[in-house]
Amino acid sequence: MPALPPPRFAWRAVLIGWLLATVFSGVPSTVWALATGGDPWEATRAAGRMLLPKAQALPVLFAAAAVVHGSLSTFWALVCAYALPTRHTAPWALALITAVGLCNLLVVAPRAFPDVAALAFWPQMADHWAWGALMALGLAWGSRVSPQPPAPAAPQATPR
């Protein structure tokens, strides 16, 4: 099996982007729920039921949601590390995550995750956009503090 090429971003940048996106991408739907008198834990319960569909206890669902969200974020952070360009990263990250969000919310959730499908569309789409923006921010910031090491120079012929 051939070796995987190196990612386009330093691993430190990918980790920073993943951490920002994973921890803070739920803010839009949570703020929306609080502003409209909704249940701020509804999306967390829905994500937890992706792993444990019959669970009811919030602590159990919170832990399951952390596993689900962390795992999905890891997958998409790796996709970003290899697929996003190093220039104009933010618009490309938002385009990618828009496609992911539309697929997740309009195709996958209605077929496989009824609790997620029952959530309001726009707050969940806003969470996806926040994830993409935060990932791009982390990649940009992480690349400034930890630039990708230069590629090894090609061997030069020695004059005779």
- Per-residue pLDDT reduced to its tens digit, 21-60: 999 999 999 999 999 999 999 999 999 999 999 999 999 9
- Per-residue pLDDT reduced to its tens digit, 53-105: 999 999 999 999 999 999 999 999 999 999 999 999 999 999 999 999 999 99
**pLDDT for 2:** 86
What are the start-end ranges of the H helices in the chain?
11-24, 27-35, 42-51, 58-83, 89-103, 109-112, 114-117, 121-145
User: Percent of the chain scored above 70 by pLDDT?
Assistant: 90
